[in-house]
Amino acid sequence: MKYLSFLFIFSALVLTGITFLFVPMGTSQTYQNISIWTSGGPSEPSIYISQLNTNYVVAGSNINKVAYSTNGGLTWTTGTLSSSLYGVWGDPCIIADTLGHFYYFHLSNPPSGGHWIDRIVCQKSTNNGVNWSNPGTYTFYDPNKDQDKEWACVDPYTNYIYCTWTQFDSYGSTNFSDSSNILFAKSTDGGNNWIEVKRINKIGGDCIDSDNTTEGAVPCTGPNGEVYVAWAGPLVRNNTFKIFFDRSTDGGVTWLDNDIQVVTQYGGWDFDVAGIYRANGMPVTGCDLSNGPYRGTIYINYIDSVSPGDHDVMLVKSTDGGFNWSSPVRVNNDPPGKEQFFTWMCIDQVTGYLYFVFYDRRNFTNTNTDVYIAKSTDGGVTFENILISASPFTPTTSVFFGDYTNISAHNGKVRPIWGRLSGSTMSVLTAIIDFPTGTENNFEVIPSDYKLYQNYPNPFNPTTTIKYNLPKDGYVSLKVYDILGKEVSVLVNTYSRAGTFEAVWDASGMSSCIYMYKLTTPMFSETKKMMLVR
């Protein structure tokens, strides 16, 4: 997917850090459009909101652009990401762990003149995007093959990082013996080292970088440590293209013996949209980790073709760990016959709501293009479509938009990111979208420290209450163990807002004994004893 990236070298400009505010005019929508980059040919952007503090947002864009915001995306400081040993060559992927560390994944282009895209590079920021590790680390290195189109995720319960990508035997090769495959790697130490590197797909594709190539692997994690990933291609039979799915229940050590064929993707993932050099419908995989009614549901978002000139945003879901999938549903709710393309999906892990961003032409008969988001609060059954771009733009095939947009959401704060063309100049924008979540409590006093209280009553029979303080939003678990250290009950295991909370343990059926209960967050852990007396 990177042969077009060479075009950026000739248009690369020095980042200025200037931020422009687009205010909607003559339209009913009121979302502020904020320009992050206005020069240097930015494209294929990525964005992520810190879960510890939603004021901190980091963005990346082709080829080596990085930006950070300390006020929720209203203003941005822009810069250039560099890796002294491996180089930076696009396909940016921004994620963050629950400790507030950001990670910037990208392709390589060694400045010493080594093999182009010879590895997937990970660089880390411990100060919210201001500074980045240099040269970073890499997931895997094979000087005889090409590594492309990576994406990564963090398991919020362990902060393990998982990365998947496409490996080409030889990028762009038409040789029948060359193939493309999906590779996997994980880090258990904050991106310092990478292990469990392996091929996970069973059916390989070609190396042409089109429909018959395996691409679009986006991983996510499940509520019990599962790793899920879907990708598009290759051809199955008779011009039938599928989206494939694989899963691991042991942190990527083992995977399914055979890939699960999720859904037919009519026309494949590489298709034509008027005015766009190349569009695609690669899948985006996500899993609901909230404590809501759809916890554990896996979703795959992609683009499919109803007919030439009519591509739609689609969604399928699984409620049994990916073994069975629903029929596809249409996310865009306009009448048939218009183009939607370049979609991305995220899940607000506090509310369980789904958010999608995509380009949309429902309001025009030409190639004028808007940007919409869609929101689902009922597990992907119904969708509210919302126009978020301040004004339309007209793309041209001579300017490369990249291969994806992106969106991040946390506790009602939603930050999409997309490219926009004005004349011959590309810019990258976000929008300030804040939805009420129902979790706010203006009268609640936020505690200053973590604290686990003694249960009450104690001794007890058969129920007792455990109170705890959380000074920051974050993932929290509260578990009960017997005297031998065996886990006997999970009371809390979810993302939580800051505050003071209580959990009730019903020990009916348990024997009289001393038990231990343990509160764990990424920054705090404490254990106390309690006694059940029959």
Nearest to 404 by CA among 347, 450, 343: 343
Taking residues 111-125, report their average pLDDT: 93
CB 432 within 8 A of CB 76: no
Taking residues 515-530, report their average pLDDT: 95
DSSP 8-state code for residue 75: S
Residue 24 banded pLDDT, cuts 50, 70, 90: very low
Contact residues for 6 (Cβ-Cβ < 8 A; gap 6+): none
What residues pair up with 414 in beta bridges, in sequence order? Answer: 409, 433
What residues pair up with 57 in beta bridges, in sequence order? Answer: 49, 69
pLDDT value at 21 more than 50: no
Length of the chain: 534
pLDDT value at 444 more than 80: no
258-277 residue pLDDT tens: 999 999 998 889 888 999 98
Taking residues 243-267, report their average pLDDT: 95
Residue 413 banded pLDDT, cuts 50, 70, 90: very high
Average pLDDT, the chain: 90
Domains recognised in the chain with CATH numbers: 3-9+29-434 (2.120.10.10), 451-532 (2.60.40.1930)
28-75 residue pLDDT tens: 457 999 999 998 889 999 999 998 899 999 999 999 999 999 999 999
451-463 residue pLDDT tens: 999 998 999 999 8
CB 214 within 8 A of CB 230: no
**Least confident segment among 13-27, 179-193, 325-339, 471-485:** 13-27
Q: Convert 101-128 to b/e letters by CB count within 10 Å (16 or more is b).
A: bbbbbbbbbbeeeebbbbbbbbbbbeeb
Question: Two tokens at 96?
Answer: 């963050």
pLDDT value at 12 more than 60: no
Percent of the chain exceeding pLDDT 70 equals 93
pLDDT at 161 (0 to 100): 98
pTM of the model: 0.82
State how far Cα 351 lies from the chain centre: 16
Dist. CA 15–CA 9, nearest whole Å? 14
pLDDT at 445 (0 to 100): 64
User: Residue 10: in which H helix or E strand, if any?
Assistant: helix 6-11
Percent of the chain exceeding pLDDT 90 equals 77
pLDDT at 159 (0 to 100): 92
Question: Two tokens at 439?
Answer: 């979790």
Nearest to 526 by CA among 420, 456, 455, 425: 455
348-403 residue pLDDT tens: 999 999 999 999 999 999 999 999 999 999 999 999 999 999 999 999 998 888 88
